[in-house]
């Protein structure tokens, strides 16, 4: 049995498995066809707004909605080669979510460093709630 790890070490380990994107890189990726996926909960979306064009999927549904082979997949989940950029509020939960998508074979999944708050601070498009 392996020794337990703390959340900081776990984040470091999962983030070592892919390249995270900063807000400008995520915006450019979305313009080039990447799927932005907002996993923030409703109260945060109501408070802060939405990224235009982002697919909203609650975190507890993410794997079911993005598995290209799943019976509950979103229409946007077109294949394992799809680039997915997961966005949470500050860029922590999205890292664990991206790792989970990697486990499903979505090898181009990544997340937005700094989350929605970094996107908003960078002056990128945000729609009113």
How does pLDDT run across 74-98, given as a tens digit for each residue? 999 999 999 999 999 999 999 999 9
Position 49 confidence tier, pLDDT thresholds 50, 70, 90: very high
Q: Region 64-68: what's the mean pLDDT?
A: 97
Which pLDDT score, from 0 to 100, does residue 87 have? 98
Distance CA(35)–CA(49), nearest Å, equals 18
Task: Please identify which residue in the block is written with the tokens 């598995």.
Answer: 67
For the cut 90, the answer to whether the pLDDT of residue 115 exceeds it is yes
pTM: 0.95
Residues 6+ apart with CB under 8 A from 100: 62, 63
Q: With 90 as the cut, is the pLDDT of residue 44 above it?
A: yes
Residues 2-31 pLDDT 10s: 888 999 999 999 999 999 999 999 999 999
Helix, strand, coil percentages for the chain (3-state, nearest 5): 40, 10, 50
Whole-angstrom Cα distance, residue 9 to residue 51? 30
- Give, to the nearest 10 degrees, the angle between helix 93-103 and helix 7-15: 50
The answer to whether 77 touches 94, Cβ cutoff 8 Å, is no
Confidence of residue 65 (pLDDT cuts 50, 70, 90): very high
């Amino acid at each position: 049995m392996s020794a337990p790890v703390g959340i900081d070490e776990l984040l470091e380990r999962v983030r070592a498995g892919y390249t995270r994107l900063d807000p400008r890189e995520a915006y450019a990726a979305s313009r080039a066809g990447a799927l932005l996926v907002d996993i923030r909960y409703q109260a945060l979306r109501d408070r802060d707004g939405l990224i235009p064009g982002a697919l909203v999927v609650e975190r507890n549904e993410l794997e079911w909605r993005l598995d290209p082979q799943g019976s509950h997949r979103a229409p946007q989940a077109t294949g394992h080669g799809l680039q997915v950029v997961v966005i949470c509020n500050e860029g922590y939960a999205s890292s664990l979510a991206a790792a989970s998508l990697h486990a499903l074979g979505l090898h181009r999944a990544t997340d937005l460093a700094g989350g929605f708050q970094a996107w908003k601070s960078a002056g990128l498009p945000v729609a009113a709630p």
